[in-house]
């Protein structure tokens, strides 16, 4: 079967750095996405990786290792507004998105 | 540029009833996909429409059906509602079905409660 694993919940301090990991086992791979979802709102796109390595976008970076079936999302200089769920999704061989359950990130002052 | 809009935002139904959820895609997008998101879970893919044809379906029974119209708006229909159908239903639009990043733009969702 297809599976995406992420930690259920993480806590970090305002101004700090946090890394959210995602491991996946899917039938084929055609890209990995990270989305942010605030409570009661729609998911919004953060990043896309299809080749190995690090993609940096302001305070957010995303890393991919296809051989390890592994990705992480790195958030720097955390702000209170970063409190949200972070969803990892993989596009499989049928070009369908398989989603993880999301990691709820709690930022404390 | 308008985003993705969904209606209704909230609704309550009883078991056995039928429901229709509506979605207007973002301007210029020709692909619409529907997801079911239970509380505390990630979205589960229901199906996708590309240029009015269903071109992908997740593990949902036939009582979940849909349509895409010439203006690329879409409907999700669920018959014979069950308690487990209670969830947030998300519509997402994108340009093209497969290539590149093909970023999804989500609507705010329709929260369905089945009693």
Instruction: Report yes or no: B41 at the A interface, CB cutoff 8 Å.
Output: yes
Nearest CA to B22 among B89, B70, B83? B89
Nearest to A94 among B43, B56, B104 (CB): B56
CB contact under 8 A, A45 and B103: yes
B103 touches chain A (CB under 8 A): yes
* Interatomic CA distance for residues B111 and B108, integer angstroms: 9
What is the model's pLDDT at position B51? 87
- CB-CB neighbors (< 8 A) of B29 in chain A: none
Integer CA distances (angstroms), B95 to A19, B15, B49, B85, B99, in order: 31, 36, 11, 29, 9
Least CA distance to B57: which residue of chain A? Answer: A96
Q: How many CB atoms lie within 10 A of CB A17?
A: 12
- Give the CA count within 13 Å in the CB-facing half-sphere of A65: 8
Please report, for residues A57, B43, B62, the alpha-carbon distance to residue B46 in angstroms, rounded to integers and kept in the order given. 31, 9, 11
Pair B110, B21: CB distance under 8 Å: yes
CA distances from A103 to A4, A9, A34, B46 (A): 12, 5, 11, 22
Tell me the pLDDT tens digit for each residue of B31-87: 999 999 998 889 999 999 988 999 889 999 999 999 999 988 999 999 999 999 999
Percent of chain B predicted with pLDDT > 70: 93
Write the pLDDT tens digit of every residue in A15-24.
Answer: 999 999 999 9
Cβ neighbours around A93 below 10 Å, total? 10
pLDDT tens digits, A62-103? 999 999 999 999 999 999 999 999 999 999 888 888 999 999
């Amino acid at each position: 079967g297809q599976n995406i694993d992420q930690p259920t919940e993480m806590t970090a301090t305002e101004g700090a750095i946090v890394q959210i990991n995602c491991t996946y086992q899917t039938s084929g791979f055609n890209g990995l996405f990270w989305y942010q979802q605030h409570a009661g709102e729609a998911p919004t796109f953060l990043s896309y990786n299809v080749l190995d390595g690090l993609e940096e976008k302001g305070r957010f970076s995303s890393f991919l290792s296809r051989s390890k079936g592994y990705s992480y999302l790195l958030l720097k200089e955390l702000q209170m507004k970063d409190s949200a769920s972070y969803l990892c999704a993989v596009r499989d061989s049928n070009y369908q998105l398989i989603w993880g359950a999301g990691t709820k990130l709690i930022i404390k002052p | 540029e308008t985003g993705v809009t969904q209606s209704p935002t909230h609704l309550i139904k009883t078991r056995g009833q039928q429901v229709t959820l509506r979605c207007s895609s973002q301007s210029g997008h020709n692909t619409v996909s529907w997801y079911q998101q239970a509380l505390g879970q990630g979205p589960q893919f229901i199906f996708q429409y590309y240029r009015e044809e269903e071109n992908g379906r997740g593990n949902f029974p036939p009582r979940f059906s849909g349509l895409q119209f010439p203006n690329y708006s879409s409907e999700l229909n669920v018959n014979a509602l069950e308690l487990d159908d209670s969830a947030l239903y998300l519509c997402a639009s994108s340009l093209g079905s497969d290539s590149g990043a093909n970023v999804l733009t989500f609507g705010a969702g329709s929260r369905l409660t089945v009693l």
